[in-house]
């Protein structure tokens, strides 16, 4: 059965755009032995100085169970330190280790140069428009959006 849908697959388009963009940065990260998740964490902690894991989950869009493993590997690689907060041993602070600080210092100019190259290729106006549209979408408050009513699964009594 082939039914035409009225809307294009927006999540799929966003994933394709993400992949098209990240393809320009992966060679840089790979050269330095980093994964995309590791770079997102390094960049976020570098920008904020220190973060709690729950903040990293939100900023980096990494699920908590995955973040736990990534942070453990990054700690083993001497990229981050995790310390218990004074006064509340349940909370942990993540900071960049000196090795990561040096790595970010090496990577940052290359990442910025790649952004400039992308901007030249697509045009400054298109990149600015993308930022504007994404910012508007993410900051919009459409209010509660109702979920469509789902049918009763076959075989169940309603």
Contact (Cβ atoms closer than 8 angstroms) between residue 85 and residue 93: yes
Tell me: pLDDT of 158 over 60.
Answer: no
Q: What are the phi and psi torsion angles at 92 (to 5°)?
A: -125, 140
Residue 12 lies in a domain: no
CA dihedral 63, 68, 71, 75 (to 10 degrees): 180
Mean pLDDT score, 75-91: 91
How long is the chain? 158
What angle is formed at CA 73 by the lines to CA 71 and CA 79, rounded to 5 degrees? 75
Residue 80 lies in a domain: yes
Residue 1 lies in a domain: no
pLDDT of residue 85: 83
Residue 102 lies in a domain: yes
**Domain span including residue 32:** 17-131
Q: In CATH, what number is assigned to the domain containing residue 33?
A: 1.10.10.10
Residue 104 lies in a domain: yes
Tell me: pLDDT of 157 over 70.
Answer: no
| Total number of domains constituting the chain | 1
pTM for the model: 0.85
Residue 47 lies in a domain: yes
CA-based torsion, 69, 74, 80, 81: positive or negative: positive
Residue 22 lies in a domain: yes
Residue 154 lies in a domain: no
pLDDT in tens, 28-74: 999 999 999 999 999 999 999 999 999 999 999 999 999 999 999 99
In terms of C-beta density within 10 A (0-12 exposed, 13-18 middle, 19 or more buried), how is residue 25 classed? middle
**What does the mean pLDDT of the chain come to?**
93
Residue 18: which H helix or E strand, with range? Answer: helix 10-22
- Band of pLDDT at residue 96, cut at 50, 70 and 90: very high
Number of continuous H segments (helices) and E segments (strands) in the chain: 7, 2
pLDDT of residue 87: 82
Mean pLDDT score, 151-156: 82
Mean pLDDT score, 121-139: 96
């Amino acid at each position: 059965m082939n039914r035409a849908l009225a809307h294009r697959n927006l999540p799929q388009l966003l994933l394709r755009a993400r992949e098209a963009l990240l393809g320009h940065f992966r060679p840089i990260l790979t050269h330095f032995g980093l994964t995309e998740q590791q770079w997102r964490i390094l960049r976020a902690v570098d920008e904020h100085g220190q973060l709690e894991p729950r903040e990293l989950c939100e900023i980096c869009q990494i699920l908590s169970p995955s973040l736990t493993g990534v942070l453990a590997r990054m700690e083993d690689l001497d990229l981050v330190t995790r310390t218990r907060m004074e006064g509340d041993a349940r909370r942990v602070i993540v900071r960049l280790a000196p090795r990561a600080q040096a790595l970010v210092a090496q990577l940052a100019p290359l990442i910025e140069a790649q952004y400039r190259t992308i901007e030249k290729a697509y045009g400054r106006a298109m990149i600015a428009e993308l930022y504007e549209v994404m910012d508007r979408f993410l900051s919009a408050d459409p209010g509660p959006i109702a979920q469509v009513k789902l049918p009763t699964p076959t075989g169940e009594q309603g």
